[in-house]
Chains A and B, each alone.
Chain A
Amino acid sequence: EADIYQTPRYLVIGTGKKITLECSQTMGHDKMYWYQQDPGMELHLIHYSYGVNSTEKGDLSSESTVSRIRTEHFPLTLESARPSHTSQYLCASRPSGSYEQYFGPGTRLTVT
Chain B
Amino acid sequence: GENVEQHPSTLSVQEGDSAVIKCTYSDSASNYFPWYKQELGKRPQLIIDIRSNVGEKKDQRIAVTLNKTAKHFSLHITETQPEDSAVYFCAPYAAGNKLTFGGGTRVLVKP
List chain A positions with a Cβ less than 8 A from chain B. 31, 33, 35, 40-45, 48, 50, 58-59, 90, 99-101, 103-106
Contact = CB atoms under 8 A, between A and B. Distances in A.
A14 B16 CA distance: 48
Contacts of B99: 45, 99, 101
B101 A103 contact: no
Given A42-B104, A99-B49, A104 B97 contact: no
Contact of B44 (A45, A48, A99, A103): A103
A43 B89 contact: yes
Interface residues of B, number: 22
A69 to B, nearest CB: 19
A40 B87 contact: yes
Contacts, number: 47
A99 B91 CA distance: 11
Contact of A58 (B40, B89, B98): B98
Given A40-B87, A59-B1, A103 B104 contact: no
A41 B49 CA distance: 21
Interface in B42-63: 43-46, 49
B46 A31 contact: no
Interface of A is mostly: loop
8 contacts: A33-B98, A42-B101, A44-B101, A45-B100, A59-B1, A90-B44, A99-B32, A104-B43
A90 B43 contact: yes
Nearest to B104: A42
Contacts of B97: 31, 48, 50
B38 interface: yes
Contacts of B103: 41-42
Contact of B102 (A42, A50, A106): A42
A101 B1 contact: no
Contacts of B1: 59
A100 B87 contact: no
